[in-house]
Structure 1
């Protein structure tokens, strides 16, 4: 069968790599792809928001399955557009994709489904939001309602910082229309975990827990990024708690959406904060996380095509989702200056050497391949991912691989996985 992966990041490289291991797959296309995805299939110069272009390509090339990597095409309705042509898409429809596409919609769905989440208010007017923040005080969280490439959330430690965030979003429109509406919510304290599940209507198959590292600096300092590294499993959410947690944060959402006639197919991702009162949902995503996807797919021990087809054909309980017992960790190597301004076009060296290490795979994210060279082409450049018998072994192997890689102004956190080791 022929598969089209939509997207251009490290997650899409990991998806294309894993899909390519299926004996069912004869050809993989990635739109638009990056310097690494060309090693797994054929890159196609169609952007992830060009729905007509993607649908036409899928039709003309007789694609059997489309896998939407990022959230944007899902929010725009790629599933519905492909469905009109009889082409299956792994991912939810536009209504359910609003769990990620609109923070306000997501919080209201959580409230309606009885899912634990921080108290919140939604605002369309700057003055009203400002008055609320001044009355509530800090710390407080300000979120742009729409998609802002993972950067539309500010955890403000002071009232002034919160008002500045409101001004950036609602007045200066730093995130365009995404900041026309904002969600202001109570700041929760605790440790985070990511909990993902393959879903088909009200059926789900759980993936192991993971932990992302959002802040750019070691010790979780500095501004938020798209993610500087992740590992799986996360000791904060042990295996014996998976089903109990799913009953709390996965099952109620799937039931509510099914009851509304909008059943969810694809990956449901719950971003959790473990407070003194137990887990609380910070956000939902409607696709694999990036970089959580990379260690999770390193651990997956069932043909991913079998799972995805079972989801789109609504027969998920027929497939057993098996996982390797090993731990996996991903360390992101970023361009110096990220998440603010950074340079591009720096040559990357050492990928082949790093991948000679047992259990190591270098997933490319912000890269391009030009004139026989792999060059930097984004903020998060590489996701250096390793398997190990336990977290300590996986961490040691990942950082061994990082030391074999180089590009000008490369930056990475040296503490990915440390929180898990402390547990």
Structure 2
């Protein structure tokens, strides 16, 4: 079958690679794709924007596409699933209403309270004066969130009242009409990605992301500087709690609201020092870079799971099978990210890195003749596996050292918590 992957990041490259591992998939088209999604005869790019639904539908029809897998949150929040399904195209990804679980922090918070899901207390504000008064009364540390999509950078953890007040100004100045101010939770963060057909759920391996730009989790939030899986903090007993207290109530409330949610339900959790799982946020798609850490460990064909979700047959699938290894993904970024950075730098060493056994997932790259060039903030994700975390981490950084481009940057401590 022919599959269309919408998006251009490292997540989409990982999805394309995993889908092509199955003999059922003969061709993957990526819109718009990146420098890595056009490296084989079975994978090709086309320059169509992720929010140009008429052109995407026309492309899918003219190329006999049987399945569309949506990577990023933006097209989901704008209703790509609703649009394509009306033309008879099978889509993996929730509809516009379901995607609000990520696209609106306030909608998600209200949803969690209705479902009885453990989460931080929070309030919504449509003007800065009220928000500032609440912060002055509540104190810090405190969390200020944009009510909308911000590519992983709309959450500001303020350690002081002054930082929180500045965050309010920053978000309103950035043209957000509504913000959410939440209590600050302490603990370890973990990402739980579950596949659902709207009737049942299958959880993937738990992963831990590294959001901050700097070593030892310092500096600004980013889209993610690395990840590892499976996260040891999520024991089988804790996973049972997460399923019972978070995932199942979420699915039940979606059903009660009449929302046809077929795709990825991604719960970003804080595991408190007492071992309590609390939801920081929900996302409506595969995580990035968690996907690049999780999928290399998945033995079950991804295409089978996605089709089962689309056809509401997930419960009939056998238990997920995983390779008996662990993985680490190190993100290589352009110098200056998540602020101002340059593009157009020649990248070398990718083949040498993969010769060591790593998988190099392209994100902010493009092809220019025979060269691969930088074309974004997060440029590459280098994933390696091993029998334990010290081995996987060492393998990943050995591969990273093969890769060179001007002003490249990566965190030296991905996975230190489990090394």
Same fold at TM > 0.5: yes
Tell whether the 8 Å contact from 1:140 to 1:187 is kept in structure 2 after alignment: yes
Could you say which residue in structure 2 is the equivalent of 1:308?
306
Summarize deviations over 1:276-298 as a string: whole Å, max 9, x none.
34111000011110000001110
1:366 corresponds, among 348, 364, 367, to 364
How big is the shift at 1:189? 0.9
Tell me the alpha carbon deviations over residues 8-38 of structure 1, each in whole angstroms, 9 at most, x when there is no partner.
0000000011111111111110000000011
Distance 1:362 1:240 in 2: 33
Cα pair 2:105 2:180 within 8 Å, conserved: yes
Structure-to-structure mapping, 1:21-170, within 5 angstroms: 21-40=21-40, 41-170=43-172
SS at match of 1:39: coil
Tell me, in whole angstroms, the C-alpha distance in 1 between the residues paired with 2:171 and 2:394.
40
Which of 196, 199, 202 lines up with 1:199 in the alignment? 196
Q: Secondary structure at the match of 1:37?
A: coil
Report if the CA contact (8 A) 1:231-1:417 is conserved. Answer: yes
Give the counterpart of 1:217 among 214, 218, 223: 214
Q: 1:79 offset after TM fit, Å?
A: 0.8
In structure 2, the residue matched to 1:12 is 12
Distance 2:266 2:44 in 1: 28
* Number of equivalences: 415
Shift of 1:112: 0.5
Shift of 1:404: 0.7
TM-score by length of 1: 0.97
Name the structure 1 match of 2:255: 258
Q: Deviations over 1:108-137 (max 9, x none)?
A: 111110110000001111111111111111
Q: Report 1:248-397 matches (<5 A).
A: 248-277=245-274, 278-320=276-318, 321-358=320-357, 360-397=358-395
Measure, in 1, the Cα distance between the counterparts of 2:247 and 2:260: 13
Shift of 1:78: 0.8
- The SS at the match of 1:110 is helix
Shift of 1:202: 2.9
Structure-2-length-normalised TM-score: 0.98
Q: Hey, what's the Cα distance between the residues in 2 that align with 1:388 and 1:205?
A: 24
CA displacement, residues 305-355 of structure 1 (integer Å, 9 cap, x when unaligned):
110000000000121321112001100000111100011111100000000
Pairwise CA distance, 1:414: 0.8
Secondary structure in 1 matching 2:327: strand
Question: Structure 2, unaligned stretches of length 5 or more?
Answer: none
Match in the other structure for 1:228: 225
In structure 1, distance between residues paired with 2:238 and 2:278: 14
Listed one character per residue, the Cα deviations across residues 162-188 of structure 1 (whole Å, up to 9, x for unaligned) are 111111111x2x2x3xx2100000011
Structure 1 runs (4+) deviating above 3 angstroms are none
Runs of 5+ consecutive residues of structure 1 not aligned to the other structure:
none
Deviations 1:381-409 (A, max 9, x none): 01000011111110010000001111111
Cα offset, 1:243, TM superposition? 2.5
Q: Distance in 2 between matches of 1:342 and 1:71?
A: 23
Q: Cα distance, 1:153 vs. partner?
A: 0.7
| Cα distance in 2 between the residues matched to 1:207 and 1:266 | 13
Partner-residue secondary structure (3-state), 2:38: helix
Give the whole-Å Cα distance in 2 for the aligned partners of 1:163 and 1:7: 35
SS in 2 for 1:250: helix
What is the CA–CA distance in structure 1 between the aligned matches of 2:161 and 2:382, rounded to whole Å?
A: 38
Q: Is the 8 A contact 1:254 1:263 kept in 2?
A: no
CA distance in 2, matches of 1:125, 1:54: 38
Residues 344 and 375 in structure 2, CA contact (< 8 A), matched pair in contact too? yes
Contact 1:202–1:251 (8 Å) recurs in 2: no
Structure 1 Cα separation of the partners of residues 412 and 22 of structure 2: 34
Take 1:269 and 1:318, find their aligned partners in 2: how far apart are those partners?
22
